[in-house]
């Protein structure tokens, strides 16, 4: 499973950022435009709300499960979630958890 989590984390980093970098190259760091485009359509707002709630749930899961497993450096998947997204933070945390479980055996 570790190899799969590594591949998923890499994809979860690269795929979203290709779109974000493409948007940045056209619009620059226009935060006002970014938020206008987020709330512009109901489907876009739906997707953003879903992602924000998923990120909150993941952060809670990282803290609770990470503490239960006595894991170190829980801030890494939390920052990964905040700066990239759930698509990166979740497989990164699952990889770290697999490593910890193996270490505990």
As a whole number, the mean pLDDT across the chain is: 95
In three-state form (DSSP H/G/I as H, E/B as E, the rest C), the secondary structure along the chain is CHHHHHHHHHHHHHHHHHHHHHHHHHHCCCHHHHHHHHHHCHHHHHHHHHHHHHHHHHHHHHHHHHHHCCCCCCHHHHHHHHHCCHHHHHHHHHHHHHHHHHHHC
- By residue range, what is the domain housing residue 38? 2-104
Q: Report the percent of the chain where pLDDT is more than 70.
A: 100
Q: What percent of the chain has pLDDT over 90?
A: 93
Looking at the 3D structure of the chain, how many domains does it have?
Answer: 1
pLDDT of residue 51: 95
Residue-wise pLDDT for 38-59, tens only, equals: 889 999 999 999 999 999 999 9
pLDDT at 85: 96
Decide: pTM greater than 0.85. Answer: yes
């Amino acid at each position: 499973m570790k190899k799969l989590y590594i591949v998923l984390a890499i994809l979860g980093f690269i795929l979203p950022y290709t779109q974000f970098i493409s948007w940045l190259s056209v619009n620059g760091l226009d935060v006002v435009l970014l938020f206008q485009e987020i709330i512009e359509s109901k489907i876009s707002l739906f997707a953003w709300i879903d992602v924000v709630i998923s990120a909150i749930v993941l952060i809670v899961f990282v803290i609770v499960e990470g503490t239960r497993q006595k894991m170190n450096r829980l801030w890494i998947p939390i920052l990964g979630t905040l700066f990239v997204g759930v698509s990166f933070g979740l497989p990164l945390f699952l990889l770290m958890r697999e490593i910890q479980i193996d270490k505990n055996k």
